[in-house]
Amino acid sequence: MEFQTTRKLRDFDTWGEVRRAWEAGETGASLARRYDVGLDNLWRRRATESWVRRKGPDPKPEPIEGWDRYARAKMEAFELKRDETRQLAEVLAAAMQGGPLERVPLWHAGHVLTWRAEHLETEVAAADREYFRKHAWTDGFWDAAGRLEDLWVLDQVTLEANREAWREDAGLPPGVAEVWP
């Protein structure tokens, strides 16, 4: 009894499909089964023809809590930030229309003062200066002639005077990253 082996001959189009599929990330074993090509031949062609797989981005690992809980936490954080932003907008809008400054957050005081000085009457600017006299560090907001400094100066004065509050807001413990701010 004689055994005769038949050679599997595949055309260039078939091998082109195999190459494109392998370079896209499909496994050699699955391609050998699907196209009925020998796995050894596939590896040989891959080596001789210098097939290269395209490196795609690494998949994002699943969070420990699972995607649903992760998404819920992200939505809650988003809604909280959105609501805080809306409340801040209302406070700033009221202050910019001449309303009280008591609720204006510290870090926005310079912007509100600048806006009010540019858009409201001089009496409001004078009242603002009187209001801020309660903080000794706000003397740097006005020059010797009584004019309000530029916004960047106001922001710098506020940051320097309230350095520890900024560091606490940023979550920096004492003794680390001392050059900030």
Cα(104)–Cα(153) distance, integer angstroms: 18
Q: Say if residue 93 is in the same domain as residue 43.
A: no
Q: Say if residue 161 is in the same domain as residue 75.
A: yes
Cα(3)–Cα(146) distance, integer angstroms: 107
Q: Provide the residue-wise pLDDT of the chain in tens; the chain has 181 residues.
A: 566 667 777 888 999 999 999 998 889 999 999 998 889 999 999 999 999 987 878 888 899 999 999 999 999 999 999 999 999 999 999 999 999 999 999 999 999 999 999 999 999 999 999 999 999 999 999 999 989 999 999 999 999 999 999 999 999 999 999 998 8
Q: Say if residue 74 is in the same domain as residue 162.
A: yes
**Residue 60: what residue type?**
K
DSSP state of 149: P
Q: Say if residue 120 is in the same domain as residue 31.
A: no
Cα(148)–Cα(144) distance, integer angstroms: 10
Cα(131)–Cα(150) distance, integer angstroms: 19
Q: Say if residue 123 is in the same domain as residue 75.
A: yes
In a domain, 175, yes or no: no
Tokens representing 155?
A: 């922001």
Query: What pLDDT shows up at residue 75?
Result: 97
Q: How far out from the chain centre does Cα 70 lie?
A: 17
In a domain, 2, yes or no: no
Q: Say if residue 107 is in the same domain as residue 23.
A: no
Q: Say if residue 75 is in the same domain as residue 158.
A: yes
In a domain, 145, yes or no: yes
Domain count for the chain, please give it: 2
**Residue 55: what residue type?**
K
**Whether the Cβ atoms of residue 35 and residue 10 lie closer than 8 Å to each other:** yes
In a domain, 58, yes or no: no
Q: Say if residue 136 is in the same domain as residue 71.
A: yes
> What is the domain range of residue 99?
67-170
In a domain, 180, yes or no: no
Integer angstrom CA distances of residue 95 from 100, 106, 140, 146: 6, 13, 21, 21
